[in-house]
A and B are shown apart, each in its own frame.
Chain A
Amino acid sequence: MVVMSYAEAAKLAVAEAMRDDPRVWCVGEDLGRGGVFKQYAGLREEFGPDRISDAPISEAAIMGAAFGAAMVGTRPIVEMRFADFALCATDELINQVAKARFMFGGQSRAPMVIRKPMGMWRSSAAQHSQSLEAWYAHIPGLVVVCPSTPQDNYSMMKAAIACDDPVVYLEHKNIWALEGEVDTTAPGDFGKARVRRSGRDVTIVSWSDCANLAESAGAVLAERGIAAEVIDLVSLWPWDKRAVIESVRKTGRLIVAHEAVSVGGFGAEVVASVAQDVAMKVRPRRLGAPRSLVAYAPNLEDQLRVTEEMIAQAAEEMMEAKAA
């Protein structure tokens, strides 16, 4: 076990993969200087400018060119800088990368990791704050990962680089400095949830940084006599439906919490899937942002946040509610 930050964990995973496989390379804007969030700092010194490649501010070309290079035998790690900017490469990701293997009848693969730093980051406003993971979960052909801890950012990055499918890899901008223990022998496993806290009263499902809030809420609830089971999905496609259903069968109560807008969010998918399989004691809840835009001013921005207290309060209300 080594203590490292969320950013360092992913960087270590990338460096190890690049040492092991000369076909792995990184491409994106400003990578030569370590990337916007320093998540590539020092890698150019070790691997050189061809494999830690700067790119023009041309998101469509970054995605499209990485895809072309993947089809001829390289394994690109694509840096989109901000998840919001990745929208400039939507055709390339959705119409090309995600579909090529199928459309061409299995003649090609797109082994790519597409890194899209996501989420609210104080006073970054509407074009640098979005959580769009549900969009990607909706697209056949893509794997979607939302790690919330240094351990998972290490293990899942390793798994993503080794994967022959395109992986949309959404790191949360607010937790680059978050430190934690990392076991570099622990494998990453798509579709395997991490139970962050066990409990018999209520199941709280989350992912990305919101899973950290959910874990804190679980600790608060324990002080209030409520045993919450906190499940971090880690990957949204595939997602660990079995772990969630087994937990809800035990607790009979389900809360899904995410930073993204509630409407059409992945929380709706989780609730609907569980509701089809499990008769719950009380009606399930989902917590997410209002269907509104992230503001610059802190007091306005905060009104869109799901907080630890909101999650704890929802659980308490659920415990008080009569059976549905």
Chain B
Amino acid sequence: MSLRNFDAGQALERLTLMERIRAFEEAARHAAVEEGLVLGAIHLSIGQEAVAVGLLESLRRDDYITSTHRGHGHTLVKGADPAAMMKELLGREGGCCGGKGGSMHIADFGVGMLGANGVVSANITIAAGAAHGVKLLGGDQVVVCIFGDGAANRGPFLEGINWAGVFDLPILFVCEDNQYSATTRTSDMTSGDVGARAEALGLPVTRIDGNDVEEMAATSREIIARIRAGGEPEFMHALTYRLDGHTYFDPATYRPEGEAERMQVETCPIARQRDLLGAAGVAAERMDEIAKAARDEMRAALEAAKAAPWPADDTVFDDVQDVGSPAVEAF
């Protein structure tokens, strides 16, 4: 952790955001496991909250992000309404995507969140294209593209990063490295260093402790400001750890014994932020209140989702296509 320019108020805001992500995902997991209300797979980012919070806090509302199948935290920090997100996870009317997408396709274009993606690495070329579009339209938005460590082993990683370099696009690529590619240890499946791949493509690379929210915030703010000022595309390799399994129903027994327990103690970004704030004189009770408020907020979001109806049956053919719509052509 870093104490440079330490601002307890900001640090508390970061703790609040991390607690809100954690509470959202715990409420979602409860809805899935205890109540059977989340019908599809959800991928939790528990333990990775500092990446979302530190990385995205300095973005403007009209900046863009693309995310992954593990994208609840990114979506929430970018400004999406948790109740609409929870409704989407439950497949209900009023969900961000009208119940059409679920967790893996969560998106909120109103806050510049251009979609989670069910295909690993697919968002990399799409994000490069969003940045290409910004440049063509003469905008000053920045695009942040977040992907996991597993994505570095698919072709779009090369094609998308090369594209951004060739066209000098306003984009920050972020490898949110939770050390597991689904249920396989990434280091067993990756030759060489991920950041070195981006360096070979000509991008400046920042390697960072992704569980230190203060460091994530300070460094991301500098990088995003550089890019917005007309700087070149950049790459960040943020090391974190997935405290849960790949999906909520994955017991993650493939991990070395004791690893998760050890990492929970050593790296949990929320625990670390509480330690930092405690050392700065913030009372534990105040931080407990923040956590409780987050849990209350997300329980209310879950209750709102549970109360929402299914999408109307007649929306099934909406938004497939205008020309040749299945509503008139589905023979």
Which A residues form the contact surface with B (CB < 8 A)? 23, 25, 50-51, 55-56, 58, 60-61, 63-74, 91-92, 95-96, 100-108, 140-143, 163-165, 167, 190-191, 237-238, 241, 273
Contact = CB atoms under 8 A, between A and B. Distances in A.
A55 B137 CA distance: 18
A181 B82 CA distance: 58
A105 B125 contact: no
Interface of B: 64, 66, 95-101, 105, 107-110, 114-115, 117-119, 122, 124-134, 136-137, 155-156, 158-160, 162-163, 166, 318-324, 326, 329, 331
Given A56-B159, A61-B128, 15 more contacts: A25-B136, A64-B156, A65-B125, A71-B130, A74-B133, A92-B126, A103-B115, A104-B97, A104-B101, A105-B95, A105-B319, A107-B110, A108-B107, A191-B323, A238-B324
Task: Select the residue from B125, B128, B326 with max chain A CB neighbours within 10 A.
Answer: B125
Contact of A104 (B115, B119, B124): B115
25 contacts: A23-B137, A55-B163, A63-B125, A64-B126, A64-B128, A64-B160, A68-B66, A68-B129, A68-B133, A71-B114, A71-B130, A95-B118, A96-B119, A96-B126, A103-B115, A104-B97, A104-B107, A107-B109, A107-B110, A108-B114, A143-B323, A190-B324, A237-B329, A241-B331, A273-B331
Contacts of B108: 107
A60 B166 CA distance: 15
A184 B224 CA distance: 48
A106 B318 contact: yes
A68 B319 contact: no
Nearest to B318: A106
A102 B136 CA distance: 26
A55 B166 CA distance: 9
Task: Select the residue from A64, A73, A106 with max chain B CB neighbours within 10 A.
Answer: A64
A164 to B, nearest CB: 6
Contacts of B126: 64-65, 67-68, 71, 92, 96
Nearest to A57: B159
B136 A105 contact: no
Contacts of A140: 320-321, 326
A167 B166 CA distance: 27
A96 to B, nearest CB: 6
B133 A71 contact: yes
Nearest to A99: B105
A104 B97 CA distance: 5
Given A64-B125, A102-B100, A105-B100, A141 B321 contact: yes
Contacts of A107: 96-97, 107-110
A190 B328 CA distance: 14
A68 B136 CA distance: 12
Contacts of A61: 125, 128, 156, 159-160, 162-163
A65 B128 contact: yes
Nearest to B316: A102
Contact of B329 (A58, A68, A238): A238
A55 B160 CA distance: 12
A72 B134 contact: yes
A72 B137 contact: yes
Nearest to A61: B159
A21 to B, nearest CB: 12
Task: Select the residue from A51, A72, A102, A142 with max chain B CB neighbours within 10 A.
Answer: A72
B130 A92 contact: no
Contact of A95 (B122, B128, B331): B122
A295 B134 CA distance: 45
For the complex of A and B, the 7 pairs showing the least CB-CB separation, nearest first, are A68-B129, A64-B125, A65-B129, A69-B133, A105-B98, A238-B324, A105-B97
Contacts of A164: 322
Contacts of B321: 101, 140-143, 165
B324 to A, nearest CB: 3
Contacts of B134: 72
B129 A64 contact: yes
A142 to B, nearest CB: 7
A61 B163 CA distance: 7
A101 B98 contact: no
Nearest to B321: A165
A64 B66 CA distance: 12
A58 B125 CA distance: 10
B323 A74 contact: no
Contacts of B158: 58
Nearest to A54: B166
A209 to B, nearest CB: 23
B99 A105 contact: yes
A74 B136 contact: yes
B125 A92 contact: yes
Contacts of A91: 119, 122
A67 B155 CA distance: 17
Nearest to B141: A72
Contact of B133 (A58, A72, A102): A72
Nearest to A140: B320
B158 to A, nearest CB: 8
Task: Select the residue from B114, B117, B324 with max chain A CB neighbours within 10 A.
Answer: B324
B88 to A, nearest CB: 8
A142 B107 CA distance: 21
Nearest to A137: B324
A43 B5 CA distance: 53
Task: Select the residue from A65, A68, A100 with max chain B CB neighbours within 10 A.
Answer: A68
A68 B323 contact: no
Contacts of A100: 115
A95 B123 CA distance: 11
